[in-house]
Chains A and B, each alone.
Chain A
Amino acid sequence: MNEMSRISRRIFLVFSLLTAGLASAQLSIEITGAGANRIPVSIVDFPGDPSASRVITATVRADLERSGLFKLIDNAGLAIDENAAVNYGDWKSRGADALASGSIARSTDGRMEARFRLYDTQKAVSLGGAAYVTNNAQLRAAGHRIADFIYEKLTGEKGVFSTRIAYVVKSRGQFLLQIADSDGQNAATALTSSEPIISPVWSPDGGRLAYVSFEKKKPVVYVHSLASGQRHIVANFKGSNSAPGWSPDGRKLAVVLSKDGFSQLYSVQADGSGLQRITQSSGIDTEPRYSADGGTIFFTSDRGGSPQVYQVGANGGEARRVTFEGSYNVSPRPSPDGKSLAFISRREGRFQLAVMDLASRQVQVLSDSHKDESPSFAPNSRMILIATEVGGRGVLSAVSSDGRIKQRLTVAAGDVREPAWGPYFQ
């Protein structure tokens, strides 16, 4: 072996160690299902800066594909700008009902403008377009915005590709509260602790997370501003403090305190002031979540002998039981559109994601796994993120609210749990 090849081999080894380290921090996504009627769409390459074009179009295509609602039609390697005339007949014969074209222009200050336009090939019309000014670091973000535009135009619902998710990774005895893009990329650690972190929830403005940290040898509720990293204690009363849930206006949090005995619901201002008791029961009341209109709170209680979901006025009053089937229904999460309620139901010893239509009270079990936890709705109410277990390891799974589409998100180096889907990009 000559000197040169030995050096290159060593460089290769160092490089692969580095990339392995990077890969372990990223969530990787696997799709295990798709919608029944996927919309065939083609995303052509965008002329202009080829590397920027590759990043943006790859992001758009991956987003649409991952949603399970689109079927990507081969673009035949074509690069077409947004203003070029579209040969509708040609794209129709390729099987594409819709086509997106675009361009990347670099401005003198080094920034880029990504322009695109979406066409309906069946009706032979433009469905509109947009331009996003971006830089190299934000190319994927621009791709997510374009995918959101296409998703909304073609499905009639808002897209959630530009949203972020929070989750907790347990790795080598450390607990990491991480934030990532909805596709699992760009993971950043907001908090590292040697003690557990649970129950993260996003403020409605997407700037803060409330969560429970055990760093004081007991559960304490914190609010953490993501941009500044500043955090403050919202509830640290005698006993346990847990299960924060934001009010839709972002001013208050429902929390669970044991300062007066067993776990009971209280509300508190986001700065920790103005504590008010909401429930008065002789058992456990926990996991409060405000309804979309802020008027009521869904929660878990064992007041009837087994843990079931109840609903109470946001300021207290008489609670009404919501779940009846089975002996263990917990972790209620009302959908942002107010139409349904996701929760975890124990069926024959398996903990599974279930969804109730709040109008008809019909319940549908959406998963076939055995250890589902912590459901969290996407802001468009279309997908539900849960923690589950595969091969003894914690993974995240996103399930469409009709149960047809499933995505699995894993982190190579550890257990992932406690997911929370953030609000729309603002």
Chain B
Amino acid sequence: MKKLLIPALLSALLVGCSTTPLPEDNAGAPVESRSGSSSGVAPVTAGGLDASGLPRELTDPKSKLSQRSIYFDLDKYEVKDEYKDLVAAHAKYLNANKGFKVLLQGNTDERGSREYNLSLGQKRAEAVKRSLSLLGVSEGQIESVSLGEEKPKNAGHDDSAWAENRRADILYKAADGRGEF
């Protein structure tokens, strides 16, 4: 045991002298994939994970998948046509990454009963869930819940504030449990 350990420690020290050790998260999988790649070079995206432990493509503002909000008209609970591409992009990602889960949070504006609004927010979350399901996302990857009027994005009391609060948000969680919920 000792004989095997010492060279391993030495090589670790030597590597340590020449380069800064990478944190485990950013080290990626190049060593294992080397044999599988025909060129012998694994493509690595720098900084694969963001602060919440999610892949950058879910949070990078340049990625379509970073768009997580679907807005609804007053007293309406259908996903509007302008959000069909967005929902499709998330469905494609979830179908390709079965380990990922989403929490769909429905929201309403502040007018009316808190509990009734909770149920209306649920209707909005359900509408997004149905769209994802129709595109093949499995039931086990989706939970739809409602925050009702309790967590307004815009704390104002006018039409534009209310429009911002009639919304469903998509939150992601990776297979290892890290993520946004």
| In the complex, per-residue mask of A247-266: 1 if CB is within 8 Å of any chain B CB, else 0 | 00000000010100111000
Say whether B83 faces chain A, with CB atoms less than 8 Å apart: no
Say whether A374 faces chain B, with CB atoms less than 8 Å apart: yes
| In the complex, per-residue mask of A366-406: 1 if CB is within 8 Å of any chain B CB, else 0 | 00000001100000000000000000100000000000000
Determine the interface band of chain B, counting residues with CB < 8 A from chain A: 20 to 34
Q: Which residue of A lies closest to B111 (CB)?
A: A351
Partner of A239, one of B111, B122, B148, B157: B122
CB of A198 within 8 A of CB of B122, answer no
Other than the known A198-B118, A242-B119, A262-B122, what 14 A-B pairs have Cβ atoms closer than 8 Å?
Answer: A217-B145, A218-B143, A219-B118, A219-B145, A239-B143, A240-B119, A240-B122, A243-B118, A261-B126, A284-B120, A284-B123, A287-B115, A330-B116, A374-B113
CB distance from B147 to the nearest CB of A (A): 7
Cross-chain pairs A/B with CB under 8 angstroms, 7 sampled = A196-B147, A199-B114, A217-B171, A243-B115, A258-B144, A284-B122, A284-B123
Say whether A344 faces chain B, with CB atoms less than 8 Å apart: yes
Question: What are the 9 closest A-B residue pairs judged by CB atoms, nearest first?
Answer: A263-B119, A196-B150, A218-B145, A330-B113, A284-B119, A243-B115, A286-B119, A240-B146, A258-B122
Task: Scan residues 136-181 of chain B and give those whose CB is less than 8 A from a CB of chain A.
Answer: 143-148, 150-151, 157, 171, 181
Partner of B112, one of A240, A351, A418: A351
CB distance from B131 to the nearest CB of A (A): 15
Q: Which residues of A contact B146 (CB under 8 A)?
A: 218-219, 240, 258
Given A239-B145, A258-B145, does the pair A199, B103 have CB atoms closer than 8 Å? no
Partner of A256, one of B103, B112, B115, B144: B115
Say whether A153 faces chain B, with CB atoms less than 8 Å apart: no
Determine the interface band of chain A, counting residues with CB < 8 A from chain B: 20 to 34
CB of A287 within 8 A of CB of B150, answer no
Of residues A214, A258, A346, A351, which shows the largest number of chain B Cβ atoms within 10 Å of its Cβ? Answer: A258
A300–B119 CA distance with the chains assembled, in angstroms = 10
Say whether A162 faces chain B, with CB atoms less than 8 Å apart: no
Q: Which residues of B contact A242 (CB under 8 A)?
A: 115, 118-119
A98–B146 CA distance with the chains assembled, in angstroms = 55
Q: Which residue of B lies closest to A198 (CB)?
A: B114
CB of A331 within 8 A of CB of B115, answer yes
| In the complex, per-residue mask of A189-208: 1 if CB is within 8 Å of any chain B CB, else 0 | 00000001011000000000
Q: Which residue of B lies closest to A392 (CB)?
A: B157
CB of B143 within 8 A of CB of A238, answer yes
Say whether A307 faces chain B, with CB atoms less than 8 Å apart: yes
Q: Which residues of A contact B120 (CB under 8 A)?
A: 284
Say whether A328 faces chain B, with CB atoms less than 8 Å apart: yes
Of residues B118, B123, B146, which shows the largest number of chain A Cβ atoms within 10 Å of its Cβ? Answer: B118
A307–B108 CA distance with the chains assembled, in angstroms = 15
CB of A418 within 8 A of CB of B114, answer yes
CB distance from A332 to the nearest CB of B (A): 10
Q: Which residues of A contact B150 (CB under 8 A)?
A: 196, 198, 214
Q: Which residues of B contact A258 (CB under 8 A)?
A: 119, 122, 126, 144-146
A392–B158 CA distance with the chains assembled, in angstroms = 12
A193–B103 CA distance with the chains assembled, in angstroms = 21
CB of A262 within 8 A of CB of B145, answer no
Q: Which residue of B lies closest to A328 (CB)?
A: B112
Q: Which residues of A contact B112 (CB under 8 A)?
A: 328, 330, 346, 351
CB of B113 within 8 A of CB of A287, answer yes
CB of A286 within 8 A of CB of B116, answer yes
Q: Which residues of B contact A344 (CB under 8 A)?
A: 113
Partner of A300, one of B116, B126, B148, B151: B116
A243–B114 CA distance with the chains assembled, in angstroms = 9
Q: Which residues of B contact A262 (CB under 8 A)?
A: 119, 122-123, 126
CB distance from A235 to the nearest CB of B (A): 13
CB of A263 within 8 A of CB of B122, answer yes
CB of A239 within 8 A of CB of B113, answer no
CB of A331 within 8 A of CB of B116, answer yes
Q: Which residues of B contact A256 (CB under 8 A)?
A: 115, 118-119
Q: Which residue of B lies closest to A238 (CB)?
A: B143
CB of A217 within 8 A of CB of B122, answer no
